[in-house]
Amino acid sequence: MPSSVLKPGATIGILGGGQLGRMLALAAAELGFRCHIYCPEGESPAFDVVAARTVASYDNQRALAAFAGSVDVITYEFENVPAETAAFLDEQARVLPNARALAASQDRLSEKRLMQELGIPVAPFAAIDRQGDLDVALARLGRPSILKTRRFGYDGKGQVAIREGDDAAAAFAAIAGKPAVLEGFVDFTREVSALVVRGRRGEVAVYDIAENAHRNHILATSTVPAAIRPETADEARAIAIRIAEALDYVGLLAVEMFVTESGGEERLLVNEIAPRVHNSGHWTQDGCLVSQFENHIRAIAGWPIGSTERHSDAVMINLIGFEADEWLPLAAEPGARLHLYGKSETRAGRKMGHVNRIYPKR
């Protein structure tokens, strides 16, 4: 057995204690692994399902070193792990996915430049470091455009639309003048995502393409199969594999794309990538034999990748904020499986759980 293969009983370290860390830990347990969650917040949902917990900040080197010494591999549930934290841990333990994937996804500009290098289409964009850049870029890309901070944006945070008549200076002030990217308007018909898993020996598999609908910039539903042409789905898979290979990626990678239509042709543009399990892959828990969570764990453990085949059609519905108060009727719905994250407090906009509705494959 190659020495990089973790044996059952080994411990997987996970940075972050939210629902993704929790579902990773549950999947790891099914394979006989123990998990150790590292998270700054004492009341983290993932703590309830693991053998070991560390509550400490991401710059606490003593706690990080102890954590690294107690685990056999380290992964993370969110891409905004500080680069210094990842670099520090990387000296003492294997961190997967690798630092390159983290760096590429933490910065919208690096991400877009990577896509360009790979010949993968993205929305027209320009780097914005100062007000002057924005004026020039707006003249080129036109309106509406979207100004997005390069770093730490998620669920619509750190972005502002600039429409006809809007004041560009006000928009730049709205993101506090941070380094940013201006994206030209994309008249897309659908948003889809491809989830690719790549193992330590370079083997890859891709789940069926999901079609995503957002509400208030937060994912509302993912539907599989997506209502796109088979050639478009094939192209989406190929793009995801190309990115995973370019990054020498190990684990589950999510690639969000826009689908545009013109003259009866569908085209794909990559919107963003996430070097982790992803909300648009939650349907795999009940639509496939091996979920995205299990396949991420398999990959980082050096195990063979599990089948990404789909046994059912699926619609994943996020339960945001007080929508999760409907857990009792949701639990009674036939053909649906309810997943709740064990969060102690319900807050508006907080992801509290999801439901997978399952249908026989068409």
Q: Does 8 interact with its own copies (rule: CB under 8 A)? A: yes
- Report whether 184 belongs to an annotated binding site: yes
- Report whether 208 belongs to an annotated binding site: no
Q: Give 345-351's long-range contacts (Cβ < 8 A, gap of 24+).
A: 346/321, 346/322, 347/321, 348/321, 348/322, 349/155, 349/216, 349/218, 349/320, 349/321, 350/320, 350/321, 351/19, 351/218, 351/279, 351/318, 351/319, 351/320
Distance CA 80, CA 77 (A): 9
- Report whether 58 belongs to an annotated binding site: no
Of 40, 49, 121, 266, which lies in the binding site for its own copies, with binding defined by CB under 8 A? 49
Residue indicated by tokens 């992803």: 278
Sign of the CA dihedral running 100, 105, 106, 109: positive
Cβ distance to its own copies smaller for residue 65 or 340: 340
Instruction: State the number of binding residues for its own copies (CB under 8 A).
Output: 49
Which parts of 187-246 interact with its own copies (CB under 8 A)? none
Of 47, 67, 258, 283, which lies in the binding site for its own copies, with binding defined by CB under 8 A? 47
Residue indicated by tokens 């579902």: 23
Q: Does 55 interact with its own copies (rule: CB under 8 A)? A: no
Of 29, 66, 99, 168, which lies in the binding site for its own copies, with binding defined by CB under 8 A? 29
Q: Minimum Å distance from CB 320 to its own copies?
A: 15
Pair type for strands 351-360 and 210-215: unpaired
Q: Does 48 interact with its own copies (rule: CB under 8 A)? A: yes
Of 135, 311, 322, 349, which lies in the binding site for its own copies, with binding defined by CB under 8 A? 311
Contacts of 120 (CB under 8 A, 6+ apart): 239, 242, 243, 270
- Report whether 38 belongs to an annotated binding site: no
Q: What is the dihedral of CA 19, 21, 27, 28, to 10 degrees?
A: -160
Which parts of 144-163 interact with its own copies (CB under 8 A)? none
Cβ distance to its own copies smaller for residue 262 or 344: 344
SS3 of residue 35 by DSSP: strand
Cβ distance to its own copies smaller for residue 137 or 204: 204
Q: Minimum Å distance from CB 181 to its own copies?
A: 38
Contacts of 325 (CB under 8 A, 6+ apart): 346
Q: Does 142 interact with its own copies (rule: CB under 8 A)? A: no
Of 265, 335, 347, 349, which lies in the binding site for its own copies, with binding defined by CB under 8 A? 335
SS3 of residue 62 by DSSP: helix
Q: Which stretch binds its own copies (CB under 8 A): 115-123, 136-144, 160-168, 299-307?
A: 299-307
Q: Does 50 interact with its own copies (rule: CB under 8 A)? A: yes
The closest of 66, 13, 62, 20 to 45, measured between CA atoms, is 20
Q: Can you name the residues that pair with 206 across neighbouring β-strands?
A: 196
- Report whether 155 belongs to an annotated binding site: yes
DSSP alpha helix (H) spans, 192-311? 230-246, 284-287, 292-300
Of 78, 185, 188, 327, which lies in the binding site for its own copies, with binding defined by CB under 8 A? 327
Q: Minimum Å distance from CB 16 to its own copies?
A: 17
Residues annotated in a binding site for ATP: 108, 148, 153-159, 183-186, 191, 214, 271-272
Residues annotated in a binding site: 108, 148, 153-159, 183-186, 191, 214, 271-272
> Residues interacting with its own copies, by CB under 8 A?
1, 5, 8-9, 22, 25-26, 29-35, 47-51, 286, 289-290, 298, 303-304, 306-307, 309, 311-312, 324, 327-328, 331-332, 334-344, 353, 358, 360
